[in-house]
Chains A and B, each alone.
Chain A
Amino acid sequence: MAAYFLCLVLFSIGLYCVLRKRNLIKIVVGLGIIEYAVNLFFALVGYRARGRAPILSADQVISNMVDPIPQALVLTAIVIGLAVTALIVAIAIKIYEKYGTFDITKINKLKG
Chain B
Amino acid sequence: MNTAPLFVIIPLGTAFLVSLVGKYYKRSSDVFSNVACCILLGLSFYTLSIIRNIPTHLLVYKIGGWAPPVGISMVIDSLSVFMLVTVNLIAFLVTVYSVDYMNKYTDKWKFYTLFMLMLTGMNGVIITGDLFNMFVFLEIASIASYALVAFGTESEELEASFKYAVMGSVASSFILLGIAVLYSYTSTLNMADMALSLTAKGPAKILPFVSVLFLMGFGLKAALVPFHAWLPDAHPSAPAPISAMLSGVLIKSLGVYALARILFNVFGVTDVILSILMFLGALSMLVGVFLAVGQWDFKRLLAYHSISQIGYVVLGIGLGSPLGICGGLFHLFNHSIFKSLLFLNSGAIVYSVGTRDLHAMGGLREKMPVTANTSLVASMSIAGIPPFNGFFSKLIIIFACVQSGHFGYAFWAVVGSVLTLASFMKVQRYAFFGALGKKRQDVKEVPLAMQISMAILAVICLVASTLVLPAFSDFVTSAAAVLSGGKEYANLVSGAFK
Touch between chains A and B, by CB atoms below 8 Å: yes
A residues sitting closer than 8 Å to B (CB atoms) are: 11, 15, 18, 24, 27, 31, 34-35, 38, 41-42, 45, 69-70, 73, 76-77, 80, 83-84, 87-88, 91-92, 94-95, 98-99, 107-110, 112
B162 touching A41 by the CB < 8 A rule? Answer: no
Q: Which residues of A contact B155 (CB under 8 A)?
A: 95, 98-99, 109
Q: Which residues of B contact A98 (CB under 8 A)?
A: 154-155, 158
Q: Which residues of B contact A110 (CB under 8 A)?
A: 156, 159-160, 232-233, 237
Distance between A34 CB and nearest chain B CB, rounded to angstroms: 5
B139 touching A45 by the CB < 8 A rule? Answer: no
Residue in A31, A76, A91 whose CB lies within 8 Å of B169: A31
Residue in B153, B161, B180 whose CB lies within 8 Å of A41: B180
A27 touching B166 by the CB < 8 A rule? Answer: yes
Distance between A96 CB and nearest chain B CB, rounded to angstroms: 10
Distance between B27 CB and nearest chain A CB, rounded to angstroms: 28
A84 touching B159 by the CB < 8 A rule? Answer: no
Q: B300 at the A/B interface (Cβ < 8 Å)?
A: yes
Residue in A69, A76, A84, A112 whose CB lies within 8 Å of B189: A69
Known: A84-B143, A87-B146. 20 other contacts (CB 8 A): A24-B162, A38-B177, A42-B180, A70-B183, A84-B139, A84-B165, A87-B143, A88-B146, A88-B162, A91-B146, A95-B158, A98-B155, A98-B158, A109-B155, A109-B156, A110-B159, A110-B233, A112-B232, A112-B295, A112-B300
A-B residue pair count with CB separations less than 8 angstroms: 88
Q: B463 at the A/B interface (Cβ < 8 Å)?
A: no
Distance between A10 CB and nearest chain B CB, rounded to angstroms: 12
Q: Which residues of B in the span 135-163 have a Cβ within 8 Å of any Cβ on A?
A: 136, 139, 143, 146-147, 150, 153-156, 158-162
Q: B412 at the A/B interface (Cβ < 8 Å)?
A: no
Cα A108 to Cα B232 with chains together (Å): 13
Residue in B158, B160, B183 whose CB lies within 8 Å of A45: B183
Identify the interface centre among B154, B162, B184: most chain A CB within 10 Å of its CB: B162
Distance between B491 CB and nearest chain A CB, rounded to angstroms: 25
Distance between B130 CB and nearest chain A CB, rounded to angstroms: 11
Q: Which residues of A contact B180 (CB under 8 A)?
A: 38, 41-42, 45, 70
Q: Which residues of A contact B154 (CB under 8 A)?
A: 98
Cα A77 to Cα B173 with chains together (Å): 10
Closest A residue, CB atoms, query B155: A98
Q: B418 at the A/B interface (Cβ < 8 Å)?
A: no
Distance between A86 CB and nearest chain B CB, rounded to angstroms: 10
Over the window 185-214 of chain B, the binary record of Cβ atoms lying under 8 Å from chain A Cβ atoms (1 yes, 0 no) is: 000010000000000000000000000000
Q: B32 at the A/B interface (Cβ < 8 Å)?
A: no
B233 touching A87 by the CB < 8 A rule? Answer: no
Q: B38 at the A/B interface (Cβ < 8 Å)?
A: no
Main DSSP-derived SS at the B contact region: helix
Residue in A38, A45, A69, A91 whose CB lies within 8 Å of B162: A91
27 contacts between A and B (CB under 8 A): A15-B170, A27-B166, A31-B166, A34-B173, A35-B169, A38-B176, A41-B180, A42-B183, A45-B184, A70-B180, A70-B183, A77-B176, A80-B136, A80-B139, A84-B143, A84-B165, A87-B147, A87-B165, A88-B146, A92-B162, A95-B155, A95-B162, A109-B159, A110-B156, A110-B159, A110-B232, A112-B300
Main DSSP-derived SS at the A contact region: helix
Q: Which residues of B contact A77 (CB under 8 A)?
A: 176
Cα A35 to Cα B154 with chains together (Å): 29
Q: B132 at the A/B interface (Cβ < 8 Å)?
A: yes
Cα A16 to Cα B459 with chains together (Å): 49
Cα A34 to Cα B169 with chains together (Å): 9
Q: Which residues of A contact B166 (CB under 8 A)?
A: 18, 27, 31, 88
Identify the interface centre among B143, B158, B232, B237: most chain A CB within 10 Å of its CB: B158
B160 touching A88 by the CB < 8 A rule? Answer: no
Residue in B143, B161, B176, B297 whose CB lies within 8 Å of A42: B176
Distance between A28 CB and nearest chain B CB, rounded to angstroms: 8
Identify the interface centre among A73, A76, A87, A91: most chain B CB within 10 Å of its CB: A91
B170 touching A34 by the CB < 8 A rule? Answer: yes
Q: Which residues of B contact A18 (CB under 8 A)?
A: 166, 170
Q: Which residues of B contact A45 (CB under 8 A)?
A: 180, 183-184
Cα A91 to Cα B155 with chains together (Å): 10
Q: Which residues of B contact A84 (CB under 8 A)?
A: 139, 143, 146, 165, 169
Distance between A79 CB and nearest chain B CB, rounded to angstroms: 10
Cα A45 to Cα B181 with chains together (Å): 8
Q: Which residues of B contact A24 (CB under 8 A)?
A: 162
B143 touching A83 by the CB < 8 A rule? Answer: yes
Closest A residue, CB atoms, query B236: A110
Known: A15-B170, A112-B300. A88 touches B165 (CB 8 A): yes
Distance between B246 CB and nearest chain A CB, rounded to angstroms: 16
Cα A73 to Cα B188 with chains together (Å): 12
Q: Which residues of A contact B173 (CB under 8 A)?
A: 11, 34-35, 38
